[in-house]
Structure 1
């Protein structure tokens, strides 16, 4: 029995495969989805093959005829999804040969695309103070890109990569997560990070208030020793200490060195005992 016709509308609405191989990965994903929707994945597993011999039974001939119609339908759908120059090149290829040759042609681009996607996933870092929701959305996008390329990130590896990408303010969160040996799925981790983000913002606000209060308690600096010069504040230079007697200074009273007369202990003692009087003092 011949299979009913397959609707190509949604598939044909997708972006056509470009000859510069810039969208092969997305295009091939659309092909796989289309074939899965019609249970036609087997078309890419092997070519149609030669028709059965005349001596074969009618049942075998009917099975082959059904397969031939389905291969033809898939071939038409794939050819319509190619740009004109690619259509001309593969017009007479069956879908199995067509897709495998395209994969061989665009293999290098797929490898490069896979490398870039994995690089973005493993180098993605959240900036301090930014939104954890936006960060998780970015990381999920990189993981999905890898998945579309056939690379599935295991849950535990994905969790570790997310924890490694967090800024220093989430250090305690990461430590507690690892110490408690949690085994969460990514959606659960995202929910936990949203709660942690709220608490971290509260802590930062308290720190800012404490810093402001501490600054006010210190008061304004003392400007008595400052003066203005040309509109700018200049700190007054410190006073120079007064010079004392030099080691070779000779006292005029006791004739010894190292001090002046006014500091002479003999002079001050004689003055106190009344043996001498200061000049200009009446006797």
Structure 2
């Protein structure tokens, strides 16, 4: 059986510009597009739920395993699209908390981008 060649990968948009302290909004927008297309956007929007109990339904256990697997995929891709300094700062974080910290660091960037600034990045 032939491999499915009808799949569309948008990951190449993440290769254009690695995240640095000046382009968070563009990077985050592209990241959301890629993860939406890959059906993994939920990984950066919701933290990993508690592990289901031993007597939980198969569906609950499968959903948890899928979230865990997708979290690993996303957590590897995100640092690969960052500059080396940001990679080091976030290397031990899972995807959800990585995004939350980056949002906190760069939440005011949109307003700053409208006005030229001579200050260095945090």
Would the TM-score normalized by the shorter structure come out above 0.5? yes
**1:123-156 C-alpha deviation (Å, 9 max, x unpaired):** xxxxxxxxxxxxxxxxxxxxxxxxxxxxxxxxxx
**Superposition map of 1:81-96 within 5 A:** 81-96=81-96
**Per the alignment, do residues 52 and 7 of structure 1 end up closer, same or farther by CA in structure 2, a change over 3 Å counting?**
farther
Shift of 1:58: 2.6
The TM-score with structure 2 as length reference comes to 0.75
Answer whether contact 1:12 1:77 (CA < 8 A) is retained: no
SS of the equivalent of 2:108 reads helix
Distance 1:65 1:87 in 2: 26
Structure 1 segments of 4 or more deviating over 6 A?
A: none
**1:98-125 C-alpha deviation (Å, 9 max, x unpaired):** 1111011012322212x44xxxxxxxxx
Shift of 1:73: 1.0
Shift of 1:86: 1.4
Shift of 1:57: 2.6
What count of residue pairs does the alignment treat as equivalent?
Answer: 109
What's 2:56 paired with?
56
Distance 1:68 1:11 in 2: 25
Distance 2:77 2:10 in 1: 6
Higher relative contact order (CA 8 A, sep 6+): 2
What's 1:13 paired with?
15
What's 1:103 paired with?
103
Shift of 1:15: 0.9
What's 2:45 paired with?
45
Gaps of 5+ in 2: 1-7, 116-122
**1:20-79 C-alpha deviation (Å, 9 max, x unpaired):** x11112111111111121122222221112221222233321111011111211111111
**Per the alignment, do residues 108 and 12 of structure 1 end up closer, same or farther by CA in structure 2, a change over 3 Å counting?**
closer
What's 1:72 paired with?
72
**Superposition map of 1:211-222 within 5 A:** none
CA RMSD in angstroms comes to: 2.3
Gaps of 5+ in 1: 1-5, 117-283
Distance 2:73 2:13 in 1: 12
**Superposition map of 1:235-250 within 5 A:** none
Answer whether contact 1:24 1:110 (CA < 8 A) is retained: no
The TM-score with structure 1 as length reference comes to 0.35
What's 1:34 paired with?
34
